[in-house]
Chain A
Amino acid sequence: QQPVQSPQAVILREGEDAVINCSSSKALYSVHWYRQKHGEAPVFLMILLKGGEQKGHEKISASFNEKKQQSSLYLTASQLSYSGTYFCGTETNDYKLSFGAGTTVTVRA
Chain B
Amino acid sequence: DVKVTQSSRYLVKRTGEKVFLECVQDMDHENMFWYRQDPGLGLRLIYFSYDVKMKEKGDIPEGYSVSREKKERFSLILESASTNQTSMYLCASRTPGLGGYTFGSGTRLTVV
Contact = CB atoms under 8 A, between A and B. Distances in A.
Interface of A: 2, 5, 30, 32, 34, 40-47, 49, 87, 89, 95-102
Interface residues of B, number: 24
Contacts, number: 57
A97 B59 contact: no
Interface stretch (B11-19, B62-70, B71-79, B100-108): B100-108
Contact of A41 (B45, B99, B105): B105
Interface of B: 31, 33, 35, 40-45, 48, 50, 56, 58-59, 90, 98-106
A44 B40 contact: no
A44 B59 contact: no
Contacts of B58: 96
Contact of B105 (A32, A40, A46, A47): A40
A95 B22 CA distance: 23
Contacts of A43: 103
